[in-house]
Structure 1
């Protein structure tokens, strides 16, 4: 039998046409569902490259006068940072961790020329989402995935050496987000210790802290996780032992990003983040690609109530110990600790 005969060629042609017709509805359903997924998340396709962008009604912009006003704010922050770095000698490179530039935690997006030092518990959840969008992950995927956002990001953003970081900064904008050290510490404690995922690293850490620092005289109502004073005692011990990299959520922002040794174009602050991040998005030309985000915004009572209820349980000595460790964060980014010392428990006599 000759399979190259006109008869068999016609048969093959009809089969291919039948398969194409049969698959066409499935392909259309896939395209429509994918398009709907983007639209549901506030995105739409705009050209044949099918790159998801924000629709016009979701785009946030700043008036030119606001851009100018916030630019002056950024200039003041950069100037203060430079002055304080010189005052404390942190702008001189050295071999210890406070004087060695740390490029390990930076994420560099080559396509959009934007570099971020990810300070955990300072808008990190929101901007990790944004950087994953910039890396090409779809909003629909990020909505349903069980993967940790940081893990996804590191698949697309390799670790940088200091040489690679400096090279990238030649044509990119570098930014970080600063947050009041004591607010950031409390947020990290609640997120990672109080609400630790069962059997996770921080859940196990909490159990170790309880075993070491909990008095046997406490009543039965004491929670299974470390109280804030117990956690602070553990933290101060790590600092005393010189274990400065004890945890990326608790470490000093100055030590984490070394802003005295690496140039930052934009320094956003948590208390002005609404405006600051919109300024950054405008400055980088990303208004149709990402939007201001507030993810993992916190739990329960407002910040002032939380600060008072937790820090009032600390002693003067414990508060002073925390301040000394986070001193550069306070000084470089213009935060005050005065009101916190008014909250301390003068009757606390913990060693």
Structure 2
């Protein structure tokens, strides 16, 4: 059910001349696009048995990162590094913070949001869904992981949690012979070191940081109903459709925030970093993110083309 809000929002309204919208034909095309994505999700969930309740994180509904706005009938599962900064800003606006305050404050937007959006139980979430639009933003899992690695590890704030994590990874993984030849003199973990650490965390069943965790595990879209799947790659159109369907055109401006650090083109970065991994390393990484690839219609083939030769190349590089 899609509900339109009235103009008595209590928020600063965007003037008519600044509102962006889609044409009737574009809205119809978007409707078909969204239906196709949801149908694929349903089919793949059934194929992999992810729509069946169980004891592990893949089969247990997780409501931890859902933000439920009952006033404006919109619910979002926040997948970090998938336009999360932009929509965290939007949800804070819907919670009553002014855009001017959000742009100037030094407080973390997630913390501000949680002051207005309490965590919900599964029952509370499902009750709120009865008259709301629930959405998720998907992103290519490997692209999302690289973005998180660069943002949280390479450019980690000094003495922050992720800075300390990076130092720990270097201490524990740089001593491995097959990683030393690829390390150079960097103080932060190289991408192969980071990937080895992440794979080990998965194998050991350890907690996976919310910036690196599988979106399927994080939002459990096979166990919780979603009305829309937006995609990072087509976000400009997708979010216009969402904003129009929720009647929030005069409240939310479809602005893209925090485009990433370093100013490099996405494809160039993908090749630079994933070419540092062997095919075996890449497939082990894929094994963890496979559901994200399949449920949201992404492909690993391009990345496999980037892969370096396996252990023989490492031995040659290290002079063995």
SS at match of 1:232: helix
Structure 2 Cα separation of the partners of residues 219 and 248 of structure 1: 27
CA-based RMSD of the aligned residues comes to 1.8
The C-alpha deviation readout for 1:81-136, integer Å capped at 9, x for no partner, is 00000000000111211101101110000110000000000000000000000000
Deviation at 1:143, TM superposition (A): 1.3
Deviation at 1:164, TM superposition (A): 0.4
Moved more, 199-208 or 315-324: 315-324
- Contact preservation (8 Å) 2:40, 2:296: yes
Deviation at 1:51, TM superposition (A): 3.1
- Contact preservation (8 Å) 2:274, 2:303: yes
1:273 aligns to 2:247 (yes or no): no
1:83 aligns with one of 20, 43, 68: 43
1:308 aligns to 2:271 (yes or no): yes
Equivalent residue runs for 1:6-85 within 5 Å: 51-85=11-45
* Higher RCO (Cα < 8 Å, 6 or more apart): 2
TM-score, normalised via structure 2 length: 0.92
The C-alpha deviation readout for 1:12-50, integer Å capped at 9, x for no partner, is xxxxxxxxxxxxxxxxxxxxxxxxxxxxxxxxxxx9986
Structure 1 Cα separation of the partners of residues 239 and 265 of structure 2: 22
Instruction: Tell me the equivalent position of 2:88.
Output: 128
Structure 2 Cα separation of the partners of residues 102 and 49 of structure 1: 30
2:209 aligns with one of 231, 247, 261: 247
Structure 2 Cα separation of the partners of residues 100 and 48 of structure 1: 39
Structure 2 Cα separation of the partners of residues 290 and 302 of structure 1: 27
The C-alpha deviation readout for 1:169-188, integer Å capped at 9, x for no partner, is 00110000000000000000
Structure 2 Cα separation of the partners of residues 167 and 48 of structure 1: 24
Structure 2 Cα separation of the partners of residues 110 and 287 of structure 1: 17
Structure 1 Cα separation of the partners of residues 297 and 182 of structure 2: 41
Greater Rg by CA: 1
SS at match of 2:258: coil
What 5-or-longer segments of structure 1 have no aligned partner? Answer: 1-46
Moved more, 261-270 or 53-62: 53-62
Structure 2 Cα separation of the partners of residues 118 and 258 of structure 1: 12
Instruction: Tell me the equivalent position of 1:26.
Output: none
- Contact preservation (8 Å) 2:280, 2:310: no
Structure 1 Cα separation of the partners of residues 76 and 186 of structure 2: 37
Equivalent residue runs for 1:288-303 within 5 Å: 288-298=250-260, 299-303=262-266
Task: State the number of aligned residues.
Answer: 304
Instruction: Tell me the equivalent position of 1:341.
Output: 304
The C-alpha deviation readout for 1:196-238, integer Å capped at 9, x for no partner, is 0000000000000000011386699521100000100100000
What 5-or-longer segments of structure 2 have no aligned partner? Answer: 1-6, 316-320
2:200 aligns with one of 230, 237, 248: 237
Structure 2 Cα separation of the partners of residues 82 and 50 of structure 1: 38
Change (3 A) 1:334 1:220: closer
Instruction: Tell me the equivalent position of 2:100.
Output: 140
Instruction: Tell me the equivalent position of 2:286.
Output: 323
- Contact preservation (8 Å) 1:314, 1:348: no
